[in-house]
A and B are shown apart, each in its own frame.
Chain A
Amino acid sequence: MTHPVTGTGVEVSGVARRFGPGAAALDGVSLSVKPGEFVALLGPSGSGKTTLLRILGGLDHADAGTVAIGGRDVAGVPARERGIGFVFQNYALFRHMDVFSNVAFGLRVRKAGRPPAEEIAARVRRLLALVQIPEMERRFPDQLSGGQRQRVALARALAIEPSLLLLDEPFGALDAQVRKELRLWLRGLQEEVGITTILVTHDQDEAMEVADRVAVMRAGRIAQFDTPEALLDRPADAFVAGFLGEANRVTCTVRGGVAHFAGEVLPPLAVQAPDGAALAFIRPHELFAREAPDSGYVVRAVRPAGPGTRLVVSGPAGSFDAVPAPDAPQPRRGERCALEAQGARLFPA
């Protein structure tokens, strides 16, 4: 893009929002996004992530707390004066306008500083080239595929040269293949343009893949805000550990730095956790299965997974996702095997 855009930072502090009686949609959310950063708001439906996005965009208001964008409190600033790009879940394209007019809309409605028609045309064409649909300018939204509509929505939002881009489940309505392609492309585009971007999603793969940092939301609060690696390695609580990635959950009791699993379903494991009852999250790659003819566990399924193999092992205590122990022959389906945890994240139960 010929006009390099620099992103602004976003400071959200103590924001609350309540719709009618019942649980609050947002319950004291604080979030600090650095200029140029790509942040994902990740959480199950009803966790408040879209409400937070709409408050940032000026489409909803906070009952309490402050929102500052680029260092300026935006409480009284209406959406049309914020200069924020917003991409809606269902794109919200103007159906009676062609692609060109959709993208040009934000420039044409300017009262002060509206560029001349030739400049608007040039800018729209640059944007359509940027989102890789330059030949579509005379088409109407009804004549486009889902992925193309998404690109138009993005070009339209970028046309006003926003310093902040907000995306609400932008890939939700697309099929898996297109979704994967588009999110990688979006990440590349964001790096190219340098715009601060906040994306709402319920898809953890999407969040982990595109975002610099991910805010995991639950019941109107941010459970943890960290890099994808840190979220997987050091989840702040049982919700985050359970929500992200796959994990076997086993209740246990910690005594003197050793976790004793309930019903002795697994051998004791040395851990760093205070004494007391706890819930252990063991990732499949941390759970080794070894041939053991007299064990109560049987391999139910063997599935190649990337460079290794994944096993589903079941026994009286339930089913576990595990991997073959690296120093032993790989167990086959139907064989008995023993399980041993190599590590776990424990949270007080």
Chain B
Amino acid sequence: MKQSKFNKIRMRETLVSYAFLAPALFFFCTFVLVPMIMGVVTSFFRYNMKGMTFIGFDNYVNMFKDQVWQKSLVNTVILVLGSVPITVMFALFVAALTYEKNPITRSFFRCVFFLPVVTGTVAVTVVWKWIYDPLNGILNWLLKSMNIIQKNIMWTGDKKFALWAILIILITTSVGQPIILYIASLGNVPKDYVEAAAVDGANDLQIFWKIKWPSLLPTTLYIVVITTINSFQCFSLIQLLTSGGPNYRTTTIMYYLYENAFKRFEYGYANAMGVVLALMIGLISFIQFKALGSDVEY
């Protein structure tokens, strides 16, 4: 009954809106939606250079049985579990120390920690490769001359160090954005709350946990989500530094996907990995929203 009345206006608005949305939808559908559907469909095929054969869930079954895939899942999880908390704490630490400083100091530190992001992953990776080089790199020399180590360490080739070596670079390239976010949202914490609490005799730590932290939760949530997604997709570091070695110690799901698609030509299998990866990221983002978001009015 009331539908017919506002239908006319709303119908017109709808037409206009979709006209405005058309270009965005065009790009979105063509370059995101269609490939997504293609990816899901072909993941049910044995699909390589020779052609395609429907094999149902075989790719998925094989994947969960694939030891290398299991290893790369573990590595990916380690990278995520390592980078997310460190990134959050690191960013919070830097932001808390600098947000009340004068604008020049603040923007200096903001620049410093954002530098690896703008330098670009490739440039950062190649310079770290040089730093890590076992025979010509500065890191081994430095540690040796400080008597911390006696023998050269193969940073990217030693199973004890390789993943951590990657993790360090990953962190340097991912804290920039969180720091900027935290500085901004720390600045948004209402000053009078903080002062009121201080008057009531709360110490710094209490002020932080009781007043500041709750108002930082939405930002933290966002940071946790983007860092998680970012770490899940860790690829260029691996491709340029270790090729997944030693003995799959640094193979991430993303790199293994690439290896299957472009070195073994198993496109169907690679797409199945893509689908599972997307589902995992979706699920994890969802859980994070639920867990951290329960007391956040975002």
**A and B form one complex:** no
A: residues with CB less than 8 A from B are none
